[in-house]
Every structure is written in C-alpha cells, then in structure tokens.
Amino acid sequence: MSVTPLINSLESIIACYLRLIELGESKKQVLIQNKVDQLNAIVNQENKVIKELEAAEKEREVTVRRYFREKGLRIRIPTTIDDLVKATVSMQDKQRLSSCGERLREAAAKLQETNHANQELLQQMMDYVQYSLDLLVPDDDVTYQNPVRSSGGTKNARMFDTKA
C-alpha cells in the first residue's frame, strides 16, 4: 500500500481545519459587528464541517490501520504522523508525510488561536450584557418584604431606582 491514501485522508482533515478557520474568522467579524442572526448561520456551517471532520478522522483511522496491517507492523494507539514517517521506507513518501503533518500542525494551531480569540470576544460580550443587566435590575427581591425587617438603605446603589 502506498502512502497516498494516508495523505489523502490527512488532506481531508487539513481542508476541514482550514474551513473551520475561515468560519472562525467570519464569526469574529460577526461578533465584533454584533450581528447575531449571521452568527447562527455560521454555527450551523461549523457543525456541518465538524461532521465532515469526524468522518475524515474515522477514514484516517481505517487507512492507518490498513497501512500498518499491510506492512506487517504492529500499530500503536494513538498513532502519530511521526509513527507513520518511521514506518515508511521511501524517502519521498517520508517527506510527503512530514510536509502534510507540518501543515496539519499549523492548521490546528491557527484553529486553536482563532477559537481562543472568539471565546474571549464572547466572554466580553457576556460580561457587557451582565453588567448592563446589573445596572437596570436591582438585586433586591421583587416580592413584597416587611418594611420593618428590611432596614437600612439599599445594599447596592443602582443607576436606576425602580422604587422612585
């Protein structure tokens, strides 16, 4: 068995990562522009790509197992690209696998960076919304309380006094 099926399955995974990076960049712009309706469409597209990625991962696992079985080698779980490179005899195939592995690592790092930036943006948006709600809604119970027991001033000064 040649390494071409292995490289093809790795290329499929890289393509999924690159699409997720593009969607992540689009999501970043949508978050900055506060276009929530477009955010839902991007999340749906991401879910489709993630399903494709899962299928590509399963295909990669099958291909790796077949490759090792045909070579008469014992497979280690999890198998890394470095393991594949070691199991390959041809120098040209080793270079192709190494190059593909490097592109996969770069794409994974970029995807992780994009996801981290989007998580920070989402957290900032959530903090802002919570801050806005805290300004508008007092912490006091909305239900009736005995005015004698509820002594003292307000616990937290709010911008808007709902009792006024």
Mean pLDDT (whole number) for 76-91:
85
The answer to whether the Cα torsion of 47, 51, 54, 56 is positive or negative is negative
pLDDT at 156 over 60: no
Where does the pLDDT of residue 148 fall: very low under 50, low under 70, confident under 90, or very high at 90 and above? low
pTM: predicted TM-score of the whole model, two decimal places: 0.76
The span from the CA of 113 to the CA of 100, in Å, is 20
pLDDT, position 160: 55
Identify the residue with better confidence: 9 or 78. Answer: 9
pLDDT, position 20: 97
Q: What number of H helices and E strands is found in the chain?
A: 4, 0
Mean pLDDT (whole number) for 20-47:
92
First to last CA, the chain: 80
